[in-house]
Amino acid sequence: MKIGFIGLGIMGKPMSLNLIKAGYQLVVLDLNASAVAELVAAGAETAGSPREVAERTEVIITMLPNSPQVKEVVLGERGVLEGARKGSVVIDMSSIAPLVSRELAAELAGHGVDMLDAPVSGGQPKAIDGTLSVMVGGPQEVFDRYYPVMKAMAGSVVRTGDIGAGNVTKLANQIIVALNIAAMAEALVLATKAGVEPELVWQAIRGGLAGSTVLDAKAPLVMDRKFQPGFRINLHIKDLANVLETSHQLGVPLPLTASVMEMMQALKTDGQGDADHCSLVRYYEKMAQVEVHRKA
């Protein structure tokens, strides 16, 4: 099976490398020449346009920043739709608005092309080690057929419903992650200001009800002051914008999500948009005039 992979960013590059390791042939496309060169060195072929990717493959995976980029790559000039054959499939693993996923799927279906919306969670570390969580929307038979492809990049691949359900699930995921990081930041800043070692607080609570994957992944980074991006503040802002847009369309109030969104926007304004989302702690540190770190 030959797979097209469009989008070799912080997530897409390691995901595509894992597909090659699993034995799949890849045709890749990205604006970043160095990322493309790395994939070519690993055995991938290149293409000059999304249309060419689709012409040469049966599965086209997209991993792009947001809805406008996915729409342009799939439906735009020299896009995937121009080259896709009847019976091929587009697996969009970007995190985009659910209504856009449904719009794309309807357009592709009119040309005999299937689609799955399959956003991921886990950040760069899990993209690298192939243990991402994939949340999938689309027909059961299409999901079953391409499950092995997605599983080659993931530890968990779960179908949550029809087209759009994958991105609804991702929105729910991003709410929980954002609020977890904010709660962790509040707690560690409080402990530090009170003179209690944050590392000991983390060790004490991580095995109880307050423990979580987010806590164990992000607390050590905060205490070691490692804010290089595994998942950028700017990308989480994009996801929360989709969350809030969808919630407004559905009439669902999300006051906690809106509060964390404003914190992230403040950090972006402060020049920290490209830092990891655990940088939320800096919002609290600035107000409390204290810094969370391990004991020297």
Reference 60, options 22, 101, 28; nearest CA is 28
Q: Is 170 a catalytic residue?
A: yes
In this structure, how many other beta carbons lie within 10 angstroms of the beta carbon of residue 37?
12
- Catalytic one among 13, 21, 71, 170? 170
DSSP annotation of 27: E
Class of residue 3 by CB neighbours under 10 A (exposed 0-12, middle 13-18, buried 19+): buried
Give the residue from 154, 151, 93, 152 showing the smallest Cα distance to 127: 154
Q: Using alpha carbons, list the distances in angstroms from residue 127 to 123, 134, 152, 153.
A: 6, 11, 11, 7
DSSP-derived 3-state class of residue 206: coil
Helix (H) / strand (E) containing 114: strand 114-117
Please say whether the beta carbons of 239 and 208 come within 8 A. no
Report residue 96 as tokens. Answer: 């985009």
Mapped onto helix, strand or coil, the DSSP state of residue 263 is helix
Active site members = 170
